[in-house]
Chain A
Amino acid sequence: MRSRDLFTAVMLFAIYSLLSAALFAVLDAGDVALTEAAVGAGISTILMLAVLALVPRKEAEAPRPNWPALTVVILTGAVLIYATLDFPEFGNPDNPVQTHVGPYYVQETYNDMGIPNMVAAVLASYRSIDTMGEGFVILTAGLAVYALLGTRRRKPRIAPKKSRSGSLEKKAADR
């Protein structure tokens, strides 16, 4: 976050995704760990590196702390930590989240479907309309990227701007 070079930021982001995938694996979430490792450390990094080939690699200004933003962030963090004091304890089997529907899925999946993987059963059968919605979201994202980047460029781009407090700024006139 503090580095000016975007390449460093992307590499650190890939490491962070991989570490969070390892965290998911420790927290007993096999499917989620696999997805986060494949998507976060793989596809997200590839896309950002592809974009870094197109935009300048360095951020413009020196990172000085932005005091209004910092106070807002610290206030929000304090309020959130105060809100978590009402949360149930970590890992307790009597948590409210473990009642109602969760134990039903755990107990009835093998009888209803005959397959061991409960997450896939919930994803594809008990809650399959949500998965259809997700398929549509991915399709829409593909169509959006096609609409934005699919039409091939004809005119040369405008020359990159320099900051006003520095060298000159010019725009290319050949539109």
Chain B
Amino acid sequence: MGWLGLYNYWIVVVLMMIGFYTVVSRGNMAKKIIGLNLFQTSAFIMFISAGKILGGSTPIYQEGTEIYSNPLPHVLILTAIVVGIATTAVGLALAVRIYENFGSIEDDLLNEDDLDDETST
């Protein structure tokens, strides 16, 4: 059971790479933000799966239960989830403003516009 017990981390890495590819390769800003959220959620899965004890239960005290899962990663992830939506909301607000001022939220079209300005002036 040496390295086969690490499968949860491999799943996390796969999800993380899907999110990373979405951020890096797509030009549309809204899709980049979706990819960023994908990345964040996979990091949460990693923390929560690291804190689990096989045979334990939810960290709420009950009579008769001996083993509880570690509450410390849960606290960390709770804060991280809420900070994640804060970041997403600000990013989406920025995307809306960019669309209003420049006419598109695609990276390539915005870069073309910069090249136009450079070559014409």
Q: Are B30 and A118 in contact (CB under 8 A)?
A: no
Give the chain A neighbours of B53 by CB distance below 8 A.
91-93, 98
Give the chain B neighbours of A144 by CB distance below 8 A.
90, 93
A168 interfacial by beta-carbon distance below 8 Å: no
Q: Are A106 and B85 in contact (CB under 8 A)?
A: no
Interface class of chain B by DSSP: helix
B119 interfacial by beta-carbon distance below 8 Å: no
Interface class of chain A by DSSP: helix
Q: Are B58 and A149 in contact (CB under 8 A)?
A: no
Shortest CB–CB separation between residue A48 and chain B, in angstroms? 7
A134 vs B102: C-alpha distance in the bound complex, in angstroms? 33
8 A Cβ contacts from A74-108 to B: 74, 76-77, 80-81, 84-85, 87, 89-93, 95, 97-98, 101-102, 105-106
Q: Are A40 and B71 in contact (CB under 8 A)?
A: no
Shortest CB–CB separation between residue A10 and chain B, in angstroms? 7
Which of B30, B79, B83, B103 meets A51, CB within 8 Å? B30
Number of A interface residues in the complex (CB < 8 A): 88
Q: Are B48 and A29 in contact (CB under 8 A)?
A: yes
Shortest CB–CB separation between residue A88 and chain B, in angstroms? 8
A23 interfacial by beta-carbon distance below 8 Å: yes
Give the chain A neighbours of B86 by CB distance below 8 A.
137-138, 140-141
Q: Are B71 and A55 in contact (CB under 8 A)?
A: no
Q: Are A81 and B13 in contact (CB under 8 A)?
A: yes
Which of A63, A77, A91, A102 meets B13, CB within 8 Å? A77
Interface CB pairs A-B, < 8 A, 12: A1-B26, A24-B44, A30-B58, A39-B82, A44-B37, A59-B106, A76-B17, A93-B67, A102-B70, A116-B62, A145-B90, A158-B103
Q: Name 20 extra pairs, CB < 8 A, besides A109-B61, A119-B75, A164-B112.
A: A9-B34, A20-B44, A28-B52, A29-B77, A44-B88, A47-B85, A54-B99, A69-B24, A70-B21, A73-B21, A90-B5, A90-B7, A90-B8, A93-B56, A117-B60, A119-B59, A119-B60, A141-B86, A144-B93, A157-B103
